[in-house]
Structures are given as structure tokens and as C-alpha cells.
Structure 1
Amino acid sequence: MYDTIIKNGKIIDGTGNPWYSSDIRIRNGKIAKIAPHLKGDREIDATKMVICPGFIDMHSHTDFILPFFNTMDSFIRQGITTCVVGMCGSSLAPIHPEKVEEFKRDASTFIPLFKDIDITWHTFTEYVEEMGNMKIPGNLVLVVGYENIRIAGGAGHENRLPTSKELNRMKELVKEAMEAGAFGMSTGLIYAPQVYVSTEEIIELAKVVAAYDGLYFSHIRDEGKRLVEAVKEFIRIVEESKCRGGQIAHLKASGKPFWGASIEVLQIIEEANDRGINVTCDSYPYNRGCSSLVTALPPWAREGGHEKIMERLQNPEDRERIKREITQGVESERWENWIGVNGFDRLYVALVNTEKWRDTIGKNISEITILKGKSDEWETFFELLIDEELGVSITLETMDEEDIRQIMTSRYQMVGTDGMGMPKTSVLPVSHPRFCGTFPRILGRYVREEKVLALEDAIRKMTSFPAQRLGLQDRGLLKEHMWADVVIFDPETVIDTATYEEPDRFPEGIHYVMINGETVVENGKQMKRYPGKVLR
């Protein structure tokens, strides 16, 4: 195996320390030597560039793309070398053999390609083996989703507590996933059927995770009105389950009435850590989130799964109840009322499946109502969901820049895209600029231009901090004997170029990316190389 030498750059090693000058020898996939004046078979001249560890994405949904597109372009091009998948309670396993068609139908609502997929695995063990055999450019950290556990062994789409038999079955499924190599379990507590789960049920399942020294990841129950309550619930789950730690997904204060709540929430996280409860978070640098339009419905309207939801949307009495509860708010329902809090003009259509609504992409519901000549936004809302059979992705303009900065500068924050590593393709368009631009946006806008973070600290949040959180002892630092996941970028030009109007534009300034010692981006061009691994 030949040596690659990286020369003449500024090494920022991921510790948070200032840069220093040296050469790096890479051999057999690892960093073999860091010293001046090294010689090798191949040399990379990093003059005026920064050399740092590969970026670790703490929150992604790339697992749902890999069965169809394995190149991870939008991630690799921004320097992501490892991504955590199985987030928001949704993973690709376990899938009960009798629920395969149901899984394919639900997944195809937003990724139509799932209609024709041949699912050859059912258990998490079989899934890990499947992924291990796949050629991928980047590394994967697998997490098991609670929704999969619930549908495979619990109450499914019903709004009820599990029976003791179901709870034991779910515990066995979590155990099987952890023994197969899952790093933990995730939940997405705004999504049906996860919205129906009790805190106590999560704690019982998380105790199994704790027995394997795993982590609890969560898209918490509310990011708006009940944000503080939701964070406290999360901390309780971590504390009572005795998990090694907890990771709050894409922490934010969503909805103008709740802007500024990040200060209190970060204080609560600080206090939890002071008490010995290891709680951290991730976030992305955008003022819009991205989700499914169907999640704007009250929880009762989403009970029972796809067919039941479609029936209610076409029932005049149910539609009136939905309108009334969203408009007036229902305190007894623990849900995040996006429309009631933010209005239709903050919800933008990002992806649809039919030609009828294709011209609405990029417009908010109020604008679409005028464009389509509808009587009001409610008619647009219901017709969109019915015509698209629930398959409408939206971006939600609900966050304030000051909260974004508060969270970004917290000592407990890491970086997560909440996106997917995707190629540019008309078959499955990108729905949010975070898919392509998260890490370069922080380095360009928030480090270089606005000086919100020091470069060394930003890189630590992208590399050694998430590696430490995940327990990856041989990644996240530029250090001898570590795996050679490396990014070389120009600190004067690195920037995101993706926008809400053109979310699939790749960033600038990322010149080289190496994963497990192989160069996957060279002079800004992605190579057809697949050195990625499923990490254990």
C-alpha cells in the first residue's frame, strides 16, 4: 500500500487547540506519522488550506437513501466522513415479516422508490449485515428507531399503552438491535405513532439500551410551546433509564412566541450535566426546519395509519374538527401545533409526488391558495394532503437567528444536518439546503464572516466532540494511529451555496476528503470510491 503525504497546510487536529504546521503520512487507512519533512509515493499540497479530521454528522437520515443511491454526494462534498442514521425514531430495521408491505407504503409516501424495493432483511442483525455488504463512500453509525420497535412488537399505530407481552417483545427487539451493533435507540415524539408513547414506556426500553452502554437520541416531544417541558422529559428518560447519555436532536425554539427560550433550555441542560446526567444536543444553521405536512394534523387525526388518516381528511365532520382544534388549540393534546402558532404563510411546500402540485414547490400555503384559486388555506391544506396521499414535504420558517447562535455556541452542541447524503437527481429532489450546506455554512458564515465561533472550536464540534459522544475512540482527531478521515478546505473560500430555491447546490472550498485513508474528493471532485464502513 502506497503512502500519501499531506504537506504545507495548517493542521487543526480536532482538540480545539490552535493550528500548527507539520506533514501527515497516511498508510493502510490510518494516520501513520505526523512530523515535518515527510516523503511518500503521493503528495497533496495543502498550501493555504486547513487540514482537519473528517466531519461527523450527529443526525442524518441517509439510511433511507442508500438502498437506491449509494454515493452520498451531498454529504461527501461538504466533508462529512461519518454519519449517524436511524434518527427521529425511524430506521430500516427491525421490520416484522408481516409488516413489510405496510413499511414500504409508509416509506414510499415521501420516497416513492420504496414502492418497488425488495426488502431482504427483517431483524436488525440482518440489516447490519446488509449494510456491511453495501459499497458506500462514508462511514455509518447505526441507531435503532423506536417506531420500528413499536410497529414490529408493540401497539403499532394504535393510541394506547402496550400490553405486558408487547412491552417484553419490544425489549427483546431493542436487545437484539443493541447486540447487533446499534449505538442506541432514537425517538421522534411528534410523529405518529410515536406521539402516543408514554414517558414510562420509553424509559423501560431505554433501560435495555443502558444495559449495552448505549445512547438515547430524541426528536423531543415539542420544540415550541412545551419546549422546556419536553427537554425535562428527555432528561428524565436519560436519568431514570441510566443510559450512558442522551442526545437532543436539532435543538431549536420553534415559533415566534417562543423565541428566546433557548437560553432557559441550555441552562436546564447545563444543570442536568452538573447533576451527572450526560445530556448533549445537535443543531443546524438554518431558520427553517423540514418535515411532513401530515404532522401538522392533531394526533387523533393521525391515529391508525395511512388509510385511516385519508378517511378522516375526506370526512367533512373530521375536517371541521381538525380546523377547530388547530385554530383554537387543544391543551389536552400534547402536540406541536405548527399552523396554529405560525400560520400557513410559514409553511413552504418542498416536495410533492404529483404534477398537479409541482408548481407549488417553494411557495407557502397562503401563496399556493392564491395561485390555485382556492377558497382559503384550509381547502389548499386538505386537498394537498389528499391528492398527494400524505406525501408532502415542507420547510417551516419558525426559528430566530439569535436562538440559532445561542445553541450553536453552547458547550453541549454538536452539528447535525438532519438531511440525507444524496446525488443531484430528478428522481428524488433535495428538499432543504441543509442536505448540501450545513458544515460549510458554519465554517463560512458563522466562523469566517460573523466570527460567532472560532475555527478551532467549530471543528471540534464537528469532529472530536461527536466522536467522544459516540465512543469512537479511533476517529475525530488528527493523531497517529487514528483512522485517516480527513478534510482539506480553504478557510478563505469555504461556504455553502445551497438555498431554499436551489437546495441541491454543492458547497465551495472543500478541496479534498479522505475516508479510511482513501481520497473520495480530489480537487473538489468526488471520485467513484467506496471505502466507507458500518462502525461498531
Structure 2
Amino acid sequence: MPTCDLLFLNGQLIDGTGAPRRAGALAVDGGRIAAIGDCAGWEAGRVIDAAGRVLAPGFIDVHTHDDSALLKTPAMPAKTSQGVTTVIAGNCGISIAPLVPRYPLPQPLALLGEVPDYRFATVAAYRSALEAAPPSVNVGLLVGHSTLRAGAMQDTSRAASAGEIEAMSAALAQALLDGGLGLSTGLSYPASRAAPTAEVVALARVTASHPGAIYTTHMRSERDQVIEAVRETLQIGREAAIPVVISHHKCIGRRNFGKTTVTLELIDRALATQDVALDVYPYTASSTVLLPEFVGDAERIIVTSSQPHPEQARRDLHEIAAEWGVSLEDAAARLGPATAIYFQMDEADLRRVLGHPRTMIGSDGIPGPYPHPRLWGSFPRVLGHYARELGLLTLEDAVRRMTSLPASVFGLPGRGMLREGYAADLVLFDPDGVIDRADYTQPCEPSVGIEQVYVNGCEVWGRAGATGAAAGRFLAR
């Protein structure tokens, strides 16, 4: 008689491929899926009646800034409470490694912490820290272009010299050998906006020389030049012969609403000859560093943190500027270093991007005491609001975008599907009740309907909340 550690009975199995759900059982043993479908006669250490619930592969959050949070808050309740079992860190050109700063941190590196937090000279050192104190979720790491620039250049407000590109290339190559999944850029931010396309192509070519590595980008513009930025991104992918992921695709500012009809057409045409994917978070407000040049397109801005003026957190920038008798730009400068939520996108654009078949889900949350609600709510919001309530996606397709698609794009073999022999990263949820509860006033409110979450066969979220199980692994390329 076969035995296993864990046996789910009577569930609705959504396997992650987009195929219709089917009734069945699933057995877990030794951290892997041992059997699916008919598990009659199996004996288990723990049996779970999953009647009326969906059992799916654990969700992969493809766009996070969790690099430091994984060490500081290893239980990761913001993620496990959503069914997330794997996070991809190092996005938008900023990764916590490889960097031990010799110079002040350029923006936006402070999103991940202060100078002491950047203590990992190599990706191998960061990986060792995670393996010594594993978090509750699996971790994949992208290598940040801005981080590489901060390590090689004292002045990041200019293009890199040939020698600096050579130094960055060497650091990048070692980071990829140490297990990095690819290169990320944040070309709209001060640390990298002066980098010409040729600099990025040079580093993308280094990345492409490591089989399976990818290029992800917070593009040079998501505003008036968004169409040109998509063209540049596709050009980089072609010239470097590397798969491309466009991060949190959006069109900022009312004058740019509707431009996703053009950008998605460009992407569709490119897909005939190159590998392109996207990610999106399911909200029309963004969140990042507060910079004077970012405030003009937003209809409302909530300050979420300020180092010199912490008392101004959770207040509208317009109110602060009025009290101080200064412009929005001057108030933003006075508050910095700071972070903020910007209300500046169109719901129709969001739905258009979310509906594209190559779109994955990424929370893009910035961990902290007053985050954007996307940190805690993104995945249940897609399942509950956009799939169940609006019918924009089927539940099966929504799960596909959170599981097998990102596993394929980021090169995570043995994850992202319900398959025998695959890692037992699993989420059990109520398809009729799952929904986000975090909002802009209570941004850390856990979602409802996510009942149990397992990482490598260990329960990391259950009825009592986060278990704190140190179940995660570093997922090297």
C-alpha cells in the first residue's frame, strides 16, 4: 500500500497549464508531488478534505523588491497569505547583490535598504545568507543594472566608460554563475537613465551567453515616450538575442491613456521573431521613490515614507505642499529620500495588459509599514475581482499566468504545474470567496479565501496564519 506525507482528497485540481479543472486527489511525499488523480488506497500522515476548494500550484510573484525582506521577515506573510510560494527579487535594476557600496547610494537603491543592507559582494554571499536562514518562500534573483553601476561608477549620472562596462560585465558574469536568473534594468531611474542603449545591449549580451538567462526591464519611459521605450526594449532583445520581460507594463498620465493598444500591437508583432513576456499588477496606482520629476502626471500622491519627515507618511502630497506653501516638486524634494503611491493609470489599459496571453502577475510591492496594497493583495485580486467578478480571465487562465507561464519564462524547472515529481509548492483556496482585503487605508490586510499554502511540501500558511516554516530554497538558474 503506497504511503505519503500529505494527501489532498476531493479537490478541484487546476494544474497551471490553463487546462480545465478536474476533480481528484493529490499525494505529497518528500516535498514532491507523488501522485495525482486516483489516490485510492494511499495512506498519509495527514489527510486534507479539499471538497469545494481549488488545489493549484503555488503562485510565482515575478516582480518583487523582497531582496532585504527575505532576510528581515523570513516568514513573508505578505506573500504566503496570497498563495505565493516563489518570489523573483532584483527587479527594476536594483538587487541587493552584488554590491558593498564605496559611494553614496544613487536613487532608487534605497528602496531595498540603507548602505549597511548592501553587504553582499557577490550573489553567492547573498545566496549563502538565505540558505543559512531560509525564508518561507523560494527565491530567484535577478542582477540589477543600477546595482552594477553603483559598484563600478562613482558618478552614475553619465554613460559608463568602456572600462566600467568591462567591470560591470565581469561582475554580472560572476553573478550569473552564482545562480542569478538574468539582468534587470530600471532605465527611468536616476542611477541608470544616462545609460545609452549600447551599454544595456553590451550587458544583455553577457547575460545571453549564459543559457537560460533573461532580460527584464523597467523601461526608459512609461509616460510620453512609452511607445519608443517598447521599441528600445525589443531592440535590446533582438541585438542581444535574449528573451525579454517588460516589467509592470503601463501608460502613465491621461494624455497617454489608451496607448497600450499600440504597445501591445508592437509586442504581438515582435513575438513572431523573438521571445517577449510582460508582467502587471492589478491596480491603477503605482508606487516607487518620490522624485520631483515623477509628480506631474499623478492625480493624487500619497506619501508612504520619508526619512527627514517621517511624520508626513500616509498624507497626500498636495496637502503637505499646501501647508508648506511650496510646489509639489519642491515638497517632493524636501521629503526625500521618500516613497509614494501615485494615482496615474487607466483601468482600460490595465485590463488590456492583463488580458494579453503573455502577461504574468507581479506584486511590485515595496515592503514597509505603509505599503501599496499590492504588496498584500495582488494575486487574490486577480483571482477574485478580475477573474470571478469581471470575467476578464477564466480562473484556469489566471492561475496559468501565476504558475506555469512564469516558471517557463524564468526557467524554474519542476515548478509551476501539478505534475508527478514536481516540487510540492501548492495553494488551496476557495474559488467562490478568494478576494483581496488590502486597500489604501489598510494596506497590510490579509486577503481571504487562501486557506493553506505549502512550499516544498511544508505548510507555510494555514488557519492560524504564517507558520514561519523555513521551507524556501534559492532557485538558481
- Letter in structure 2 aligned against 1:82: T
Residue number in structure 2 paired with 1:83 = 87
Residue number in structure 2 paired with 1:482 = 422
Q: Does 1:413 align with 2:359?
A: yes
More strand by share: 2
Residue number in structure 1 paired with 2:239 = 240
- Letter in structure 1 aligned against 2:89: V
Residue number in structure 2 paired with 1:398 = 344
Q: 2:28 aligns with which of 26, 29, 41?
A: 26
- Letter in structure 1 aligned against 2:16: G
Residue number in structure 2 paired with 1:346 = 300
Q: Does 1:458 align with 2:387?
A: no
Residue number in structure 1 paired with 2:319 = 367
Residue number in structure 2 paired with 1:268 = 266
Identity over aligned residues, as a percent? 32
Q: CA deviation at 1:109?
A: 4.9
Q: Deviations over 1:330-377 (max 9, x none)?
A: xxxxxxxx33334xx4222122245x552x43443223334x2x3243
Q: Does 1:283 align with 2:280?
A: yes
- Is contact 2:74–2:468 with CA below 8 Å preserved after alignment? no
- Is contact 1:497–1:508 with CA below 8 Å preserved after alignment? yes
Q: CA deviation at 1:384?
A: 5.0
Q: State the alpha-carbon separation in 2 of the partners of residues 534 and 430 from structure 1.
A: 28
SS at match of 1:196: coil
SS at match of 1:102: coil
- Letter in structure 2 aligned against 1:34: I
52 and 513 in structure 1: CA distance in 2 versus 1, 3 angstrom threshold: same
SS at match of 1:67: helix
Q: State the alpha-carbon separation in 1 of the partners of residues 246 and 450 from structure 2.
A: 28
- Letter in structure 1 aligned against 2:23: S
- Letter in structure 2 aligned against 1:186: S
Q: State the alpha-carbon separation in 1 of the partners of residues 447 and 128 from structure 2.
A: 33
Residue number in structure 1 paired with 2:13 = 11
- Letter in structure 2 aligned against 1:375: G
Q: Deviations over 1:18-75 (max 9, x none)?
A: 1111111100000001132343121111111000000001110011222322221100
Residue number in structure 2 paired with 1:225 = 224
What's the TM-score once normalised by structure 1's chain length?
Answer: 0.84
- Is contact 1:59–1:87 with CA below 8 Å preserved after alignment? yes
Q: CA deviation at 1:123?
A: 2.0
- Letter in structure 2 aligned against 1:279: V
115 and 228 in structure 1: CA distance in 2 versus 1, 3 angstrom threshold: closer
Q: State the alpha-carbon separation in 1 of the partners of residues 301 and 379 from structure 2.
A: 25
Q: Does 1:509 align with 2:459?
A: no
- Letter in structure 2 aligned against 1:454: T
Q: State the alpha-carbon separation in 1 of the partners of residues 422 and 178 from structure 2.
A: 24
Residue number in structure 1 paired with 2:155 = 157
Q: Does 1:216 align with 2:215?
A: yes
Q: State the alpha-carbon separation in 1 of the partners of residues 135 and 402 from structure 2.
A: 21
- Is contact 1:9–1:51 with CA below 8 Å preserved after alignment? yes
- Is contact 1:78–1:436 with CA below 8 Å preserved after alignment? yes
Q: CA deviation at 1:471?
A: 1.5
453 and 472 in structure 1: CA distance in 2 versus 1, 3 angstrom threshold: same
Q: State the alpha-carbon separation in 1 of the partners of residues 417 and 142 from structure 2.
A: 23
SS at match of 1:349: strand
2 and 205 in structure 1: CA distance in 2 versus 1, 3 angstrom threshold: same
Q: State the alpha-carbon separation in 2 of the partners of residues 132 and 25 from structure 1.
A: 27
- Is contact 2:96–2:112 with CA below 8 Å preserved after alignment? no
Q: State the alpha-carbon separation in 2 of the partners of residues 195 and 145 from structure 1.
A: 13
Question: Paired residues, what number?
Answer: 471
Residue number in structure 2 paired with 1:377 = 327
When Rg is computed on C-alpha atoms for both structures, the one with the higher figure is 1
SS at match of 1:61: coil
402 and 179 in structure 1: CA distance in 2 versus 1, 3 angstrom threshold: same
Q: State the alpha-carbon separation in 2 of the partners of residues 45 and 430 from structure 1.
A: 37
- Letter in structure 1 aligned against 2:417: L
264 and 219 in structure 1: CA distance in 2 versus 1, 3 angstrom threshold: same
Q: 1:39 aligns with which of 37, 43, 58?
A: 43
Q: State the alpha-carbon separation in 1 of the partners of residues 350 and 95 from structure 2.
A: 27
For structure 2, the 5+ residue unaligned runs are none
Q: Deviations over 1:508-536 (max 9, x none)?
A: 00000000011111236221211100011
Q: State the alpha-carbon separation in 2 of the partners of residues 339 and 262 from structure 1.
A: 22
- Letter in structure 1 aligned against 2:319: E
What's the TM-score once normalised by structure 2's chain length?
Answer: 0.94
Q: Deviations over 1:233-279 (max 9, x none)?
A: 00000110111x011100011111111111111110010011x2101
- Is contact 1:510–1:524 with CA below 8 Å preserved after alignment? no
Q: State the alpha-carbon separation in 2 of the partners of residues 127 and 200 from structure 1.
A: 29
Q: State the alpha-carbon separation in 2 of the partners of residues 115 and 127 from structure 1.
A: 15
Q: CA deviation at 1:506?
A: 0.6
Q: 1:206 aligns with which of 204, 207, 221?
A: 204
340 and 255 in structure 1: CA distance in 2 versus 1, 3 angstrom threshold: same
Q: CA deviation at 1:392?
A: 1.5
Q: Deviations over 1:82-129 (max 9, x none)?
A: 011101110111114xx25734x97895566x3655x65312222222
110 and 186 in structure 1: CA distance in 2 versus 1, 3 angstrom threshold: closer
Q: State the alpha-carbon separation in 1 of the partners of residues 57 and 6 from structure 2.
A: 16
Q: Deviations over 1:189-243 (max 9, x none)?
A: 1111201100000000110000002100100011111111000000000110111
Q: CA deviation at 1:2?
A: 5.3
- Is contact 1:34–1:480 with CA below 8 Å preserved after alignment? yes
Q: CA deviation at 1:3?
A: 1.5
For structure 1, the 5+ residue unaligned runs are 298-337, 423-427
